[in-house]
Amino acid sequence: MMNRVSDLFDVCYGTNLEYNKMIPQSNGIPFVARGSGNNGVVGYVKRIEGDNPNPQNTISVAGGGSVLESYLQERPYYSGRDLYYLRPKKVLSNNQLLFYCLVLRSNKYRFSYGRQANRTLGHLMIPSLDEIPNWVEKTNIPEKPNRGSVISNGIKLAVENWKWFAYDELFTIERGKGAREEDLVTNGRINFITSIDSNNGLTGYVNNPPKHKPHVITVNRNGSVAEAFYQTEPFCSTEDVHVFTPKFKMNQYIALFLVTLIKLEKYRYSYGRKWGLDRMRSSTIKLPDSNGQPDWQFMEDYIKSLPYSSNLKEISESKQKKVNSLTDSELIEKYESGSIDFGKTLEPTLKNED
């Protein structure tokens, strides 16, 4: 059975404030606008006396702009123009509210810049509470990432002192190999990496034996050319992905530093100009220098100094504990079976001449 949005939620117009007139405050009230991404939050502002924020545990919905971008807001928040919030008439869990966010976004095709949802939001048809699938409540919602950094000292980038290094000095580069897309299965255990631009290159899973070891960087030669990702588990891939195996000791911090720089090469390539194997090997990358060699320690420390870097440490330790809990035979069996963007800051300096 389908219900109108207004049957399940009170449809309310938000606070309708102007973000550019607010006072920024890092630990202040979230300000939600009509855009997409970042849960709709464009910044944090100082509370206005006498002007109450929208209530927490409601769904913010863009009536204009990026129409029907919908997000669960777990804190009180201010909002801009054409931003509505849906307050549930019955107590709903976060999983249920997130499900309705997905349902609302699935109606985006009905609207556009010239056809907004200001008048029709409450009339949209959505599943009743009884029709929410069982998997919704069974889904584990990831914990919010820790904003802390591994090291507290801020580190500056002095790119004018960096030097160019050839990729084949740093990596052994080979074509990806392994399964085909027709080998994808729902219950596979081995990551299958293709030349996409998101999800760490992960398209799905296969049960084929892994062809590539973990702790390498994958770089697309075709498709979304020059998209690069750090792989932490054994995997298979298509030939449109090239595998960079380091000739040095690489951890996740160094890998993420390098991945950001590699992605800056995207402007050079397109569907008609692919980044082939020979061209990759002869390409160069500009890196921090220490006595004529890449300064790996600087790269590691820089990533560790960024907000949210503590999550990388936690993930690494968690995986290590998981690995350490396995016996040698289990490890062998396992193996044999298988978002601070400093890129923009570096881009003008790191573009080498073609």
**233: CB partners within 8 A, 6+ apart:** 191, 214
Reference 346, options 160, 94, 193; nearest CA is 160
Query: What is the average per-residue pLDDT within 128-153?
Result: 88
- Identify each DSSP E strand in 18-153 by its residue range: 24-32, 41-45, 58-62, 70-73, 78-79, 83-88, 125-127
Q: What would the mean pLDDT of 32-38 be, rounded to a whole number?
A: 92
Q: What span, in angstroms and rounded, lies between the C-alpha atoms of 132 and 95?
A: 10
Angle between helices 309-324 and 296-304 (to 10 degrees): 100
Half-sphere exposure of 311 (CA within 13 A, CB side): 10
User: Is the pLDDT at 339 greater than 80, yes or no?
Assistant: no
For position 78, what pLDDT does the model report?
97
Place of tokens 């190999």: 177
Q: Which pair of tokens denotes residue 97?
A: 């509210």
> How much is the mean pLDDT over the chain?
87
In the CATH hierarchy, which top-level class contains the domain 2-138?
alpha beta
Query: How confident is residue 315, by pLDDT bands cut at 50, 70 and 90?
Result: low
Residue matched to tokens 């573009």: 351
pLDDT at res. 326: 47
Tens digit of pLDDT for each residue in 146-180?
Answer: 878 898 888 888 899 899 999 999 999 999 998 77
Could you give the CA distance from residue 118 to residue 284 in angstroms, rounded to a whole number? Answer: 51
Q: Specify the residue for token string 């009905």.
A: 110
Per-residue confidence at 229, pLDDT binned at 50, 70, 90? very high
Q: Does residue 85 register a pLDDT over 70?
A: yes
Distance CA(232)–CA(234), nearest Å, equals 7
CA distance 262 to 229: 10
What is the residue extent of each domain of the chain? 2-138, 159-350
Q: What is the pLDDT of residue 338?
A: 42
Higher-scoring residue by pLDDT: 313, 314: 313
Average pLDDT over residues 228-232: 96
- Cα angle for residues 297, 300, 303 (degrees, 5° grid): 145
- Write down the CATH number for the domain with range 159-350: 3.90.220.20
The three-state (H, E, C) secondary structure of 290-325, written as one string: ECCEECHHHHHHHHHCCCCHHHHHHHHHHHHHHHHC
For residues 192 and 202, what is the distance between their CA atoms, to the nearest angstrom?
6
Across residues 273-278, what is the average pLDDT?
89
Positive or negative CA dihedral for 44, 38, 113, 82? negative
Q: How far apart are CA 178 and CA 208, in angstroms?
A: 7
Strand pairing report for 235-237 and 190-193: parallel
**CA 23 to each of CA 17, 41, 278, 308: distance values in angstroms, whole numbers, following the listed order:** 12, 15, 53, 25
Q: Give 105 or 353, the one with higher predicted confidence.
A: 105
Distance CA 173, CA 245 (A): 6
pLDDT for 347: 54
| 41-45 and 293-294 strand pairing | unpaired
Query: What is the predicted pLDDT for the residue at 328?
Result: 39
Same fold, 2-138 and 159-350: yes
